[in-house]
């Protein structure tokens, strides 16, 4: 019952360093998402992939890139980390049946990133 798995769970970076957050789901879901969570802001969508081979920007895409490697995996890359990217990052996935599906997102456990 792995569900959605994110790695790493914690990471400390220096300004300007790069890193990739990995996400994998084993539920055969079509759609995958990356959110960031900041205090008092709720969760905000960074990028999403409605299906394998497609990616789209969300609310706060600047400073990030994504890759939908295959149906299972969706990675988030910070090319040059900035202190403003200190946050908790969540990967999520959902099914998409006949255009609508059940609507539920399944979340990973989150990755806490600190940029000094």
Positions 23 through 62 that interact with another protein (CB under 8 A) = 30-31, 33, 35, 40-45, 48, 50, 58
10 touching another protein, by CB under 8 A: no
The per-residue DSSP string of 63-91 comes to TEEEEE-SSSBEEEEESS--GGG-EEEEE
Residue 95: CB atoms within 10 Å = 16
Give the nearer residue to another protein in terms of CB position, either 13 or 36. 36
Rg (CA), the chain: 14
The single residue among 8, 27, 109, 114 that binds another protein, judged by CB under 8 A, is: 109
Binding site for another protein (CB under 8 A): 30-31, 33, 35, 40-45, 48, 50, 58, 88, 90, 92, 94, 96, 99-105, 107, 109-110
């Amino acid at each position: 019952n792995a569900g959605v798995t994110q790695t790493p769970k914690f990471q400390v970076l220096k300004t300007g360093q790069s890193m990739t957050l990995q996400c994998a789901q084993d539920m055969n879901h079509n759609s995958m998402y990356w959110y960031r969570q900041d205090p008092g802001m709720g969760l905000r969508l960074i990028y999403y992939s409605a299906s394998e081979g497609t990616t789209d920007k969300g609310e706060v895409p600047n400073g990030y890139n994504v890759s939908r490697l295959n149906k299972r995996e969706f990675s988030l890359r910070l090319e040059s980390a900035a202190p403003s990217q200190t946050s908790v990052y969540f990967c999520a996935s959902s099914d998409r049946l006949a255009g609508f599906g059940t609507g539920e997102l399944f979340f990973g456990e989150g990755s806490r990133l600190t940029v000094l």
